Amino acid sequence: MFQAEKKFINTEKIAYWVFLVLGVMNVGFVLMICVYLLLAGSPAIVKIGPLDFLFGTQWASTAAQPKFGILPFILTSVYGTIGAIIIGLPLGFFSAVYLAKMCPKKVRMVVEPVVDLLAGIPSVVYGFIGMLVLVPAIREIFGLPDGSGLLAAIIVLAIMILPSIIKVSVTAIEAVPEEYTLGSLALGANKVETIFRVVVPAARSGISAAVVLGVGRAIGEAMAVMMVAGNAANMPYSIFESVRFLTTAVASEMSYSSGLQREALFSIALVLFAFIMIINAILNMLLKKGIKR
């Protein structure tokens, strides 16, 4: 009896230390990334001037008189992410409601593995399919010389964030206690009213978590976007414009960059990092509010 207890304490101690070390390592890595990005990203901002860097509308990094304005990338990332959410969130949300509450078991048994599969497909494949199917389709439909641009990128991003939005929303909807549904039906409400007036509001904190994931994935995506966005450093004045995102701006020049150009790319990475931190903080705040209510 005593021996058993001793053993138990020992495993608990070991577990404690293992988790402590892992936790410290985790925090350490994040801190290291922060510090490194700050050190690597600040010099160019100082040299170029923060206002010229953030609000300059021209990026010409290899010109004889180089210009390092990243407003086109910032706006493209913002528009691209918002666009992807505007398309992807309702689509994912209604799919989730349908899967969790309405569809026959058999349909669900087919659709759920497909959604899982979609989540696991590498982004380069999305980009490839976008290039082969979506870009020509946009060119034909709108009669443009080239179909790649902001719209194609938005659609690809929307499709890419669908699986995570669906999965997280389904989980959130299914976590809503059955008693709420019964209570509503017993008052004479029908199934659809019950879903949208009781179940979905009860799941709203989980559904905002789905938005967090979607925004995070959309703003951080580089590869698929690079293949369909056209990749010219234009201001995103229209949805057909050939554009670069913050991510693709870094990725497309990094391999051959040098000097101030290279430093500026680090600065773009720093801006992207700041964006992701801010968005996460805002959405986390919303999430906490949702849980409290």
Partner 1 sequence: MPTSENASAADTSANVFTVRKFNLWYGDHHALHNINMDIKEHSITALIGPSGCGKSTFIRNLNRMNDLIPGVKLEGSIKYNNEELVNSDIDVSKLRKEVGMVFQKPNPFPMSVYDNIAYGPRTHGVRNHAKLDALVSGSLKAAAIYEEVKDRMNSSALGLSGGQQQRLCIARALAVQPHVLLMDEPTSALDPISTGKIEELAMQLKEKYTIVIVTHNMQQALRISDYTAFFLLGDLIEFGPTEKIFSNPEDKRTEDYITGRFG
Contact footprint for partner 1 (CB under 8 A): 177, 179-180, 182-190, 193, 197-198, 201-202, 293
Angle of helix 71-97 relative to helix 150-174, nearest 10 degrees, comes to 40
Q: Which is nearer to partner 1, 12 or 193 (CB)?
A: 193
Q: Which is nearer to partner 1, 197 or 288 (CB)?
A: 197
Q: Shortest gap between Cβ of 207 and partner 1 (angstroms)?
A: 14
Number of C-beta neighbours around residue 229 at 10 A: 29
Q: Which is nearer to partner 1, 104 or 145 (CB)?
A: 104
Q: Which is nearer to partner 1, 116 or 193 (CB)?
A: 193
Are 238 and 25 spatial neighbours (Cβ–Cβ below 8 Å)? Answer: no
Q: Which is nearer to partner 1, 136 or 183 (CB)?
A: 183
Q: Shortest gap between Cβ of 177 and partner 1 (angstroms)?
A: 8
Are 217 and 160 spatial neighbours (Cβ–Cβ below 8 Å)? Answer: yes
Q: Shortest gap between Cβ of 201 and partner 1 (angstroms)?
A: 7
* Sign of the torsion angle spanned by Cα atoms 59, 219, 82, 133: positive
Are 209 and 287 spatial neighbours (Cβ–Cβ below 8 Å)? Answer: yes
Extract the runs of DSSP E, i.e. beta strands, from the chain.
Answer: 59-60, 67-68
Q: 82 is written with which tokens? A: 């918002």
